[in-house]
Amino acid sequence: MVSIARGEASYLIGHDGRRYLDMIGSWWTCLFGHSHPPLVAALKAQLDQLDHVLLAGFTHEPAVELAEALIACAPAGLSRVFYADNGSSATDAALKMALHYWRNLGRERKQRFICLSNSYHGETVGALAVSDVALYREHYGPLLFSPLIVTTPDRYEQPPDLDTEAWVARCVAELAQTLEQHGQDVAAMIVEPLVQCAGGMRMYPESYLRHARRLCSEHEVLLIVDEIAVGMARTGKMWGSSHAQISPDLLLTSKALTGGFLPLAAVLAGEHIYQAFYAEYQTRRAFLHSHSYSGNPIACRAAVTTLNLLKAPEFADAHAARCARMQRSVASFADLPHVADTRSQGFIGAIELAADVSTKRPFAWQERRGLRVYRHGLEHGVLLRPLGNVVYFFPPYGLSEEEFQHAEHVARAGILLAVAD
Ligand SMILES: *Cc1c(COP(=O)(O)O)cnc(C)c1O
């Protein structure tokens, strides 16, 4: 166990004074850097103003400002904001909202959900039910409802005899068939746009999202995009769904929403969703979901400040350069032994190791190759925490060139160690 005393920009600093370069952004939360001064200042001011108030019949300035700021930068058509206090509970809220939406429209049959293979939407019971990561699902099966799982056009899984377009077309056809067969019973489809982070930073083409949007509309199925990991410009654009220029019915955001300072989540909804619930109390159509700390003012202040920093004119240029740097970085790992794939999307980079590069036969999980990279990283002051056989970079945006080079150097040596023997 590593005990951390302080955070400072890209570094976590232990009680023993050891410094760890946080190349995974403390699980995809840390956005600009640790204890980022503009966020610290905004939060200090907020602490003197208002700590917390229930968000039922009451509201407050940071909650209103944040809702307005989110809608201003959201995909077109999203006009309402519902707060939760972590990613998984936002997923659960969206699933409940989708089901309840159809009930309110008299479509009670619509109770099922579609998710993608290798998906991850959180670990509360509802979120876990629409997650297809065997490791997390295994023990809790009896608690979980069964979604319809359709194949993700994962570039790494692309069959060798198909080009990308044909691979996407095959997966789109499978989705179309599933909707054809079950659409009447489906409330919503949930997807992680472009990158399945917990699933091993696996990436798929944006064209799939456009097809999914079209097919969901045709079959009267809501589309939920889970931007919890990839929002806040992580993929190069504000949202993963921005790349496909689609508007989902519901959008989830959390993790780096507060710059990585505090837990907070928001479910953004289209006006049609809101209107289906907005009615006299006696009609009993209201959405029933609340958490004690929903829309906490300090967390909302952190998020408002984060969105302002992302909007600053100097951010966009620096960010484009940063994403290009990431692409070059992972490409430089391609010639190492046992590297079966290198891929990047925005400021996410991944290097996938395999026992046999030509067939992509993975290293058995029992061999724990990734753990060797993790340990080597810690010994050399870099926090890398591979997902199985996938070494990845998901660093804070404030990472300097020198820090990046140090991380690359340590990752390269760690990979060489991990694949030896
Ligand atoms: C992390 C994550 C969640 C769950 O968020 P928590 O705040 O950890 O509960 C949901 N969806 C995606 C895509 C995530 O990466």
How far is Cα 231 from Cα 420, in angstroms, rounded to an integer?
Answer: 37
251, part of any domain: yes
Q: What is the largest CA-CA distance in the chain?
A: 69
259, part of any domain: yes
Give residue 256 CA to ligand 1 midpoint distance, Å: 11
Which of 276, 295, 310 marks a domain boundary? Answer: 310
148, part of any domain: yes
Return the CATH number at 408: 3.90.1150.10
Let me know whether 283 and 367 are in one domain.
no
3-state secondary structure of 152: coil
Let me know whether 337 and 300 are in one domain.
no
Instruction: Among 119, 224, 254, say which to mutate for ligand 1: greatest number of ligand atoms within 8 Å of CB.
Output: 254
247, part of any domain: yes
Question: Which pLDDT score, from 0 to 100, does residue 126 have?
Answer: 97
Give residue 265 CA to ligand 1 midpoint distance, Å: 10
Give residue 284 CA to ligand 1 midpoint distance, Å: 31
Are residues 189 and 147 in contact, defined by beta-carbon separation less than 8 angstroms?
A: no
272, part of any domain: yes
**Ligand 1 site, residue 387, Cβ cutoff 6 A:** no
Let me know whether 235 and 196 are in one domain.
yes
What residue owns the CA closest to ligand 1's atom 8? 87
Are residues 102 and 285 in contact, defined by beta-carbon separation less than 8 angstroms?
A: no
Q: Count CB-CB contacts under 10 A for residue 381.
A: 15
What residue owns the CA closest to ligand 1's atom 2? 122
The number of the ligand 1 atom at minimal distance from the alpha carbon of 198 is: 15
Query: What pTM was computed for the model?
Result: 0.98
- Output the six-digit token pair for 403: 């820090």
Question: Which pLDDT score, from 0 to 100, does residue 135 have?
Answer: 75
Let me know whether 19 and 77 are in one domain.
no
Give residue 211 CA to ligand 1 midpoint distance, Å: 24
The number of the ligand 1 atom at minimal distance from the alpha carbon of 263 is: 7
The CA R_g of the chain, rounded to the nearest whole Å, is 21
**Ligand 1 site, residue 122, Cβ cutoff 6 A:** yes
Instruction: Among 83, 120, 125, 387, say which to mutate for ligand 1: greatest number of ligand atoms within 8 Å of CB.
Output: 120
Let me know whether 195 and 332 are in one domain.
no
Question: Which pLDDT score, from 0 to 100, does residue 239 have?
Answer: 98
Instruction: Among 228, 257, 261, say which to mutate for ligand 1: greatest number of ligand atoms within 8 Å of CB.
Output: 228
Tokens 């490409």, residue located: 331
**Ligand 1 site, residue 131, Cβ cutoff 6 A:** no
Question: Which pLDDT score, from 0 to 100, does residue 133 have?
Answer: 81
**Ligand 1 site, residue 228, Cβ cutoff 6 A:** yes
Let me know whether 334 and 300 are in one domain.
no
Let me know whether 156 and 170 are in one domain.
yes
Let me know whether 274 and 385 are in one domain.
no
Question: Which pLDDT score, from 0 to 100, does residue 3 have?
Answer: 97
What residue owns the CA closest to ligand 1's atom 12? 121
What residue owns the CA closest to ligand 1's atom 6? 87
**Ligand 1 site, residue 226, Cβ cutoff 6 A:** yes
**By residue range, what is the domain housing residue 389?**
4-30+315-418
**Ligand 1 site, residue 118, Cβ cutoff 6 A:** no
**Ligand 1 site, residue 121, Cβ cutoff 6 A:** yes
179, part of any domain: yes
How far is Cα 118 from Cα 154, in angstroms, rounded to an integer?
Answer: 9
Let me know whether 100 and 218 are in one domain.
yes
Return the CATH number at 246: 3.40.640.10
Question: Which pLDDT score, from 0 to 100, does residue 421 have?
Answer: 84
Let me know whether 144 and 199 are in one domain.
yes
344, part of any domain: yes
**Ligand 1 site, residue 197, Cβ cutoff 6 A:** yes
**Ligand 1 site, residue 91, Cβ cutoff 6 A:** yes
**Ligand 1 site, residue 397, Cβ cutoff 6 A:** no
**Ligand 1 site, residue 254, Cβ cutoff 6 A:** yes
Domains held by the chain: number: 2
Which of 279, 310, 341 marks a domain boundary? Answer: 310
The number of the ligand 1 atom at minimal distance from the alpha carbon of 226 is: 13
**Ligand 1 site, residue 87, Cβ cutoff 6 A:** yes
Let me know whether 334 and 353 are in one domain.
yes
How would DSSP label each residue in 187-249? EEEEE-SSEETTTTSEE--THHHHHHHHHHHHTT-EEEEE-TTTTTTTTSSSSGGGGGT---S
Question: Which pLDDT score, from 0 to 100, does residue 229 have?
Answer: 98
Using a 10 angstrom Cβ sphere, with 0-12 exposed, 13-18 middle and 19 or more buried, the burial of residue 11 is: buried
111, part of any domain: yes
Q: What is the mean pLDDT for each group of 10 consecutive residues in the chain (421 residues)?
A: 97 98 98 98 98 96 98 98 97 98 98 98 96 84 95 98 98 98 98 98 98 98 98 98 98 98 98 97 92 96 98 95 98 98 98 97 96 98 97 98 98 98 84
Give residue 329 CA to ligand 1 midpoint distance, Å: 26
**Ligand 1 site, residue 86, Cβ cutoff 6 A:** yes
**Ligand 1 site, residue 133, Cβ cutoff 6 A:** no
Let me know whether 120 and 252 are in one domain.
yes
Which of 278, 310, 342 marks a domain boundary? Answer: 310
- Output the six-digit token pair for 299: 């967390």
